[in-house]
Structure 1
Amino acid sequence: MQRTFFYINGASEGAFPERELIQLDKAGYAVALSRVVMDAVAPYVAAAERPALTRLLGRIDAEDELVVLQLSALGCNARDVLATLLSCRKGKIGVRCVELGGVDLTGRPEPQAVKMLRAVVRMEAATRSERSRNGLQAAQRSGRPTGRPASLSAHDRARVMSSLGSGLSVSEVARRFGTSRQTVLRIRAAAGTPDFR
């Protein structure tokens, strides 16, 4: 028998979510208080870090249904909400959102709202990638160093070259300086020393 659970994050009036329960009732749901689960975490907290939601998703059975008032109850951003919905779909859990008209967001064919969510996630990823690329190019144009900082100081790099010049092997130098062989090889290459291993 299918059961319906209700998840509320950040109840409006203290500990008892009276306003939220009225909204669920107006949306046509018969709410059993024993199936209402609440968190009181900030909206920017990821779904995986919402304790009541995590516990509920861990115990809810396949074919059961989860109802939320707003899409933001399922995660902190579009990517997080989409991940929650896909996890529920995989577990065969129906998810309905009152804000979106109560359509099953995990159903097949995929609802338009979920398609839109996927498009937003792709757009955000492309925007982040473009911003990162532009920032890197601007840093390179202005002469600022990019990438990971050097693991050894300029003084230590000079000592590495001195150690290599005194006949120590790359592996031995790496051990002495607590770094990798690859780092020692990069230092030697940057100094223009021939690659005699």
Structure 2
Amino acid sequence: MIYGYARVSSNGQDLTQQVAQLLAAGCVKVYQEKASAASAERPKLKRAIGALDAGDVLMVTATDRLARNTRDLLNILHAVKEAGAGFRSIAEPMVDTTSQFAEVVIAVLGIAASWERQRIVERTAAGRDQAKARGVKFGRRAALTPHQQAEALQRLARGDTQRTVAALLGVDQATISRLSRRQG
């Protein structure tokens, strides 16, 4: 049997095209996942590999849908091989683990995928730096406005308990505790 694995890295992306390609290529079942390929912890991928029996094939539209670094790619392909199954990529027809040169091609593709992942990290960092230069703030918003923080500190100084101040401002006691530690 031929099983497919389709993956996109964010919720805004769509799996429809990948699934259609895999079904057209003869896959009887396609495991779909929205997770980063940078992570080796992908439940649907593990399920797809777990479903493989001797003689089965795991197919992807492109190797970068499977892994973004050489180590992960080789680990995944090792697990496929251990199941007695093969691996194929639609976009890279030379990647077929039943051929003699498959391991060489897969290593080269893994290096390319790793390089692309590094480029993505660099582009993301550059974008983040540009946004910071424009004054964009990152992270969670403060639970309390500066005025509320000042009021909380005044109440604590007057002897109110952290729990009382937290209840008054509608926040968790830990928020008031952190505020107190930062100021004290």
TM-score range with shorter-chain normalisation?
A: 0.5 to 0.7
- TM-score, normalised to structure 1, is 0.53
Match of 1:7 in 2: 3
Instruction: Describe how 1:42-191 pairs up with structure 2 within 5 A.
Output: 57-61=49-53, 64-67=54-57, 71-72=60-61, 76=65, 78-79=67-68, 86-87=75-76, 89-90=78-79, 92-93=82-83, 94-97=85-88, 99-100=93-94, 102-104=96-98, 111-170=103-162, 173-174=165-166, 177-179=170-172, 181=174, 183-184=175-176, 186-188=178-180
Distance 1:65 1:86, change over 3 A: farther
Q: C-alpha separation between the residues in 1 aligned to 2:28 and 2:46?
A: 10
State the Cα distance separating 1:11 from its structure 2 match. Answer: 6.2
1:79 match: secondary structure: coil
State the Cα distance separating 1:150 from its structure 2 match. Answer: 1.3
2:143 match: secondary structure: coil
Does the 8 Å contact 2:95/2:105 carry over to 1?
A: no
Does the 8 Å contact 1:79/1:121 carry over to 2?
A: yes
Superposition RMSD in Å:
4.5
- TM-score, normalised to structure 2, is 0.55
Q: C-alpha separation between the residues in 2 aligned to 1:113 and 1:141?
A: 42
Does the 8 Å contact 2:60/2:66 carry over to 1?
A: no
Does the 8 Å contact 2:96/2:102 carry over to 1?
A: no
Gaps of 5+ in 2: 5-18
Letter of the aligned partner of 1:66 in structure 2? Answer: D
Q: Name the % identity.
A: 20
2:56 match: secondary structure: strand
State the Cα distance separating 1:188 from its structure 2 match. Answer: 4.5
State the Cα distance separating 1:118 from its structure 2 match. Answer: 2.8
Relative contact order higher in (CA < 8 Å, ≥ 6 apart): 2
1:149 match: secondary structure: coil
Does the 8 Å contact 1:45/1:76 carry over to 2?
A: no
State the Cα distance separating 1:97 from its structure 2 match. Answer: 1.9
State the Cα distance separating 1:151 from its structure 2 match. Answer: 2.2
Letter of the aligned partner of 1:10 in structure 2? Answer: A
Does the 8 Å contact 1:10/1:38 carry over to 2?
A: no
Does the 8 Å contact 1:78/1:120 carry over to 2?
A: no
Q: C-alpha separation between the residues in 2 aligned to 1:144 and 1:56?
A: 41
Gaps of 5+ in 1: 22-35
Q: C-alpha separation between the residues in 1 aligned to 2:158 and 2:126?
A: 44
